[in-house]
Each structure stands twice: as structure tokens, then as C-alpha cells.
Amino acid sequence: FFLLHSLGGGTGSGLGTAVLEMLSEEFPGVFRFDIPVFPSATDDVITSPYNTVFALEKITEFADCSCPVENEALMSVCNRILKMGLKTKTTLASAKDSVLCQKARPFDQMNNIVANLLLNLTSSARFSGSLNVDLNDICTNLVPYPRLHFFVSSVTPLYSLLDVDLPPRKLDQMFTDAFSGQQQLVQCDVKRGVQLACALLARGSVGISDMRRNLDRIREDVRFVHWNRDGWKTGLCSVAPVGHPYSLLTLSNTTAFHHTLGQMQSRFLRLYNRKAHVHHFLQVDSMEDCHFVDGLSSLSSLSSEYKAMENTDFSKLTVPRLKVVL
């Protein structure tokens, strides 16, 4: 099951996680892939920090995999695409059409990015390929612990429907861009974190030798936990995306995600320490103050679990030698 919903509002966070919990109870043997949209720091819903923490508690418990996207990251990507598009559109007619389309569809570019994420993720299930990846394999290989199932995704090339005329990137540059941070849909520094596992899902004219060459080149800059140093999962789909010869989706289960969780915790405490807007929730039947404490505790615990993986000192890990008895 794929579930897409926002976390800032009451409907997306409440109804969305209620459906997720129902699917867990009714279909326990079917993997549940959740794609939540994290609100920005300047979200127009004043109670979004509460809604986000309540929803994350349910996602942590009932989702098998979660691939969050941030509004701020999406806006940053859209602004960069717009600048690139304006440089390539030199004719008056194309520039005029671009302006008209931007006025007509302010959120379509952001939605297209999420759609491309899903298209790349499910391409192996829809098309043939030399190294197709089953969606169940992603949950199995990228989630070493049940609660640590949040992926930082990166899609390259990123484009909207109007930007398919942009010049294609070179193949090796595409792999470099995927780990540069500019293509990420969650704003966190993956290079400073430690990878628990990472999936590379390529589409188009990408061969196994191309994948191996770039893996050998990138692995020098990517740190993995000591018990899973070769935690790569690769997939190759032969059908390229529309308008491009190839594309790449990376899913990183990284400890750097705890920085995003820390920001959510800070926004939550900024309101809860003053008990601001708590009464709106307490008016609902069966809602008590302990739910705020439980939600905050779940968020803090999840962040601590990621930090514990990141703070492991690999240099002090030694394998005891066998003692020979004479």
C-alpha cells in the first residue's frame, strides 16, 4: 500500500494515520509505504507542530517504510529549476508560455517532483529491466530495525512537465548530483550522517558496469555502519523517464535524519512549553494531555535511536582474537 498525506493539517495527519493504522490491522502481511509531507517552519497552520508529532508517532509504529518530503526542500528545488529553465528559454513565446503556466499552477511543480519520486520507485514493478527490484525488497534491505524506517530520497534529474527540454546531465554527473544534497527532498546533510543502508534505483540506458563504476567512486565519500559496510541495494529498469535518457532515485536510511526530527521537536516544545493551543485538542473526546507527552516521548526516542547509530566510534571497534590453549 502507498499512502500520501500531509502532516501539517488535521485531515492529513489525523485521517492519514488512521487509514495507515487500519491497513496495519486489516492487512498485516502487506507492506505499507508511507509518503508524508512535512510542513515548513512558516506553515500557515498554527497547530502543525502538534499534528506532525502525533502523526509521526503513528507512522513510526504502523508504517513499514516512510519516504518523507519537505515543503521547504520542494520549494528550493522548484526555484532552482525555474532559474535553469529561464536560462534555456530564450524565445519570447516560450518565456511568455512559461509565465502563464506558472501563474496557472503554483503547486504543480512541487506535485510533479513527488510524482517523479513515485514513478521512479515503482518503475521496476511496471517495466522490465536487467536488475529489477521488488518493492518488498526495499523494505527488507533498507530497514535494519523496525522503527528506523525513514528514507531521505534524492531524485535526479529533477524537472517539471515544462522543463523536459533542459539539456540532459552526464551519467556520472547524475550519480554525483544524487549525493550533493541539492536534489534531496528532505533538507539534511547526508554526508555528515552514517548510512544504515542505501538504495540506488536507475532507469534508462544505465548498465551494470555504469552502476558498479559509480558505486566504487561514491563509496569513498559515504560512511556506513560497521556491521553493514556494503549496504547498497541497486536496481536497473530499462525504460527511461519521459524526456530524459536516464534517471536515478536514491533512498538513504541515514542517521542525519535525526536533525530533521530535532527541528520538529523544537517547534513542538515552543508551543507546548506554554500550553499554547492545547485546548483545541483537549476538546476532542478521549484526547488527554498525556497524548502530548507520549507523542513527544516517541519523537525523542526515535531521534535518540538515530543518534546512537551515528555516535558509534568505529575506530574503537575491535574483534577479539582467539586465545590458543597449549
pLDDT in tens, 289-322: 999 999 999 999 999 999 999 876 554 445 556 6
- Kindly state the average pLDDT of the residues 82-86: 67
Please state which CATH number belongs to domain 2-260. 3.40.50.1440
Question: In the prediction, which pLDDT does 94 show?
Answer: 46
For the chain, domain boundaries: 2-260
- Confidence category of residue 165, pLDDT binned at 50, 70, 90: low
pTM confidence score: 0.86
pLDDT for residue 267 is more than 70:
yes
Q: In this predicted structure, what is the pLDDT of residue 99?
A: 43
Percent of all residues in the chain with a pLDDT value above 70, rounded to a whole number? 85
Q: What is the pLDDT of residue 168?
A: 61
> For residue 180, what pLDDT is reported?
86
pLDDT of amino acid 119: 93
Q: What local confidence, expressed as pLDDT, does residue 77 receive?
A: 86
3-state secondary structure string across the chain: CEEEEECCCHHHHHHHHHHHHHHHHHCCCCCCEEEEEECCCCCCCCCHHHHHHHHHHHHHHHCCEECCEEHHHHHHHHHHHHHHHHHHCCCHHHHHHHHHHHHHCCCHHHHHHHHHHHHHHCHHHHCCCCECCCHHHHHHHHCCCCCCCECEEEEECCCCHHHCCCCCCCHHHHHHHHCCCCCECCCCCHHHCCEEEEEEEEEECCCHHHHHHHHHHHHHHCCECCCCCCCEEEEEECCCCCCCCEEEEEEEEECCHHHHHHHHHHHHHHHHCCCCCHHHHHCCCCCCHHHHHHHHHHHHHHHHHHHHHHCCCHHHCCCCCCCCCC
Residue-wise pLDDT for 5-51, tens only, equals 999 988 999 999 999 999 999 999 999 999 999 998 888 889 999 99
Tell which wins on pLDDT, 310 or 93.
310
